[in-house]
């Protein structure tokens, strides 16, 4: 048997870098006893994250799924309503719509960017449509001008699911500032992490107050134990906020390293005849969450993933389409969103972490070329 040290380093598809004040701030929570959802780091993290995104209000919560749930609740979306979501997304986007009793309506992806296709969104609008949830897939900001034009024309809300796009930009504005409400996740594999955690952002004072009420059990801020509506316990802990603040202090470095990793991949794989890459558009700044390639077919995709795993390199398939999953497959037939289905079948996420070196990325690219 080979010794562990003889083997090349295992490259996970994503790993966090916790090399700043994370330990110091968490220890402050432990030393001072503030381990629950009160404590100095919560407001500091919210204020700093609001500033980072250029938005007035940031409201922390316990994960990105809950952030979407709070956003839809605060907008008053409920039974009988339809919400248009991309079919290529993480399942939380669709689940949050289901949680409020509304129906997710799945829309097609753009062939070039893999993001929500505004032309198909327009086709999916009905009398019942109340909101659109664009998702910046793998960090590439969606075509927000076109989505807002549709929203204005049809009187719809825009909930920006920015869970994968901390630091991304669209026409000079940060992801998180591009919807009526925006939501983030700080899960361990995201651009910035708190372990588990989420955030809602909005410039609207009323929506912010509603979200604050909903996430704190519905308690009247002026009157303790007086609950004015059925709320939720969706709060972030001080320990999570401590991690988040430390991550945010180093956001430029963390995001810069991811951008460097993306640059190496683009340089080494950009001209490969069998691969398609997600573009970076002149008016957007990719948040560089997951470097992703489309290989020629689904069979090849699975073979390539197995070959890379054999070389101790983890990959991930692009998300399966939501309309093909058991809870949602009654809503749209297989084959009805062909562009999205193809991207989902052919797409593979490659390791993307701030911890990767150029040599690591070269190793991934060599293994990928051999496998193809
Ligand atoms: C990660 C993610 C979420 C949910 O985040 P959690 O913090 O894991 O609940 C929501 N939407 C998208 C697009 C995501 O990638």
3-state secondary structure of 65: helix
Neighbours of 18 (CB within 10 A): 16
pLDDT, tens digit, for every residue of 152-204? 999 999 999 999 999 999 999 999 999 999 999 999 999 999 999 999 999 99
Question: Residue 287: CB within 6 Å of ligand 1?
Answer: no
Write down the pTM of the prediction. 0.97
**Residue 229: pLDDT over 60:** yes
| Residues in Cβ contact with 219 at an 8 Å cutoff, skipping those fewer than 6 apart | 213, 225, 226, 227, 228, 231
Question: What's the mean pLDDT in 26-32?
Answer: 97
Residue 206 C-alpha from the chain's centroid: 25
| pLDDT value, residue 6 | 79
Phi-psi region of 333 (alpha: psi -120 to 50; beta: other; left: phi over 0): beta
Q: Strands (DSSP E) along 129-196, which ranges?
A: 129-132, 157-161, 169-170, 173-174, 181-185
Pairing between strand 129-132 and 82-86?
parallel
Q: Is 61 in the pocket of ligand 1 (CB under 6 A)?
A: no
Nearest atom (ligand 1) to Cα of 190: 1
CA distances from 295 to 257, 304, 318, 349 (A): 25, 9, 11, 11
The phi-psi region of residue 288 (left if phi > 0; otherwise alpha if psi is between -120 and 50; otherwise beta) is left
Q: Which amino acid residue places its CA nearest to atom 13 of ligand 1?
A: 90
Residue nearest to ligand 1 atom 6, measured at CA: 64
Cβ atoms 365, 27 nearer than 8 A: no
**Residue 62 Cα to ligand 1 middle (Å):** 11
- Smallest Cα–Cα separation from 120: which of 134, 137, 102, 130? 134
pLDDT over threshold 80, residue 60: yes
Rounded (10°) CA dihedral 296, 301, 304, 305? 160
What is the per-residue pLDDT across 279-338, written as a single tens digit (0 to 9) for each? 989 999 999 999 999 999 989 999 999 999 999 999 999 999 999 999 999 999 999 999
Nearest to 67, CA basis, from 166, 172, 168: 166
3-state DSSP assignment of residue 302 = helix
pLDDT at 241 over 60: yes
User: Is the confidence at residue 5, as pLDDT, over 80?
Assistant: no
Ligand 1 centroid distance, CA of 93 (Å) = 7
Residue 4 is predicted with a pLDDT of 57
Tell me the average pLDDT of the chain: 97
Q: Does the structure show a pLDDT above 70 at 2?
A: no
Q: Give the pLDDT band (50/70/90) at residue 3.
A: low
Confidence of residue 112 (pLDDT cuts 50, 70, 90): very high
Widest Cα–Cα separation across the chain: 66
Please tell me the distance from the alpha carbon of residue 173 to that of residue 47, in angstroms, as a whole number: 18
Which of 92, 137, 183 to probe ligand 1 with, by most ligand atoms within 8 A of CB? 92
Task: Select from 86, 185, 186, 321 the residue to mutate for testing ligand 1; criterion: most ligand atoms less than 8 Å from CB.
Answer: 185
Ligand 1 atom at minimal distance to the Cα of residue 187: 7
Give the span between the Cα atoms of 22 and 16, in whole angstroms. Answer: 12
Instruction: Check pocket membership of 185 for ligand 1, CB cut-off 6 A.
Output: yes
Closest residue by Cα to atom 4, ligand 1, is: 64
Ligand 1 within 6 A of 193 CB?
no
For residues 23-32, give the mean pLDDT. 97
């Amino acid at each position: 048997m080979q010794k562990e040290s003889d083997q090349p380093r295992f490259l996970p598809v994503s790993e966090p870098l916790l090399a700043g004040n994370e330990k110091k701030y968490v220890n402050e929570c432990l030393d001072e006893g503030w381990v629950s959802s009160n404590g100095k780091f919560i407001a500091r993290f919210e204020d700093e994250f609001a500033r980072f995104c250029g938005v007035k209000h940031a409201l922390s919560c316990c994960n990105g799924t809950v952030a979407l749930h709070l956003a839809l609740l605060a907008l008053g979306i409920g039974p009988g309503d339809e919400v248009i979501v991309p079919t290529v997304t993480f399942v939380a986007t669709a689940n949050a719509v289901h949680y409020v009793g509304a129906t997710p309506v799945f829309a097609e992806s753009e062939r070039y960017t893999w993001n929500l296709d505004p032309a198909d969104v327009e086709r999916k609008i009905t009398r019942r449509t109340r909101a659109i949830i664009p998702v910046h897939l793998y960090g590439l900001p969606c075509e927000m001008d076109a989505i807002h034009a549709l929203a204005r024309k049809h009187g719809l809300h825009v909930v920006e699911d920015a869970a994968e796009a901390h630091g991304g930009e669209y026409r000079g504005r940060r992801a998180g500032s591009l919807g009526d409400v925006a939501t983030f996740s700080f899960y361990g594999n995201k651009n910035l992490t708190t372990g588990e955690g989420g955030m809602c952002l909005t410039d609207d004072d009323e929506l912010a107050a509603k979200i604050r009420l909903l996430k704190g059990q519905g308690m009247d801020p002026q009157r303790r134990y007086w609950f004015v509506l059925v709320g939720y316990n969706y709060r972030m802990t001080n320990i999570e906020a401590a991690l988040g603040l430390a991550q945010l202090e180093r956001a430029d470095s963390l995001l810069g390293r991811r951008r460097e990793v993306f640059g190496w991949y683009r340089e080494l794989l950009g001209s490969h005849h069998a691969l398609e890459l997600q573009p970076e558009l002149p008016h957007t700044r990719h948040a560089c969450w997951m470097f992703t390639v489309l290989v020629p077919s689904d069979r090849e995709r699975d073979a390539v993933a197995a070959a890379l795993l054999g070389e101790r390199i983890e990959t991930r398939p692009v998300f399966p389409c939501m309309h093909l999953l058991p809870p949602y497959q009654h809503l749209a037939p297989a084959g009805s969103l062909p562009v999205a289905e193809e991207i989902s079948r052919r797409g593979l996420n490659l390791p993307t972490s701030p911890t990767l070196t150029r040599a690591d990325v070269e190793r991934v690219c060599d293994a990928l070329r051999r496998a193809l």
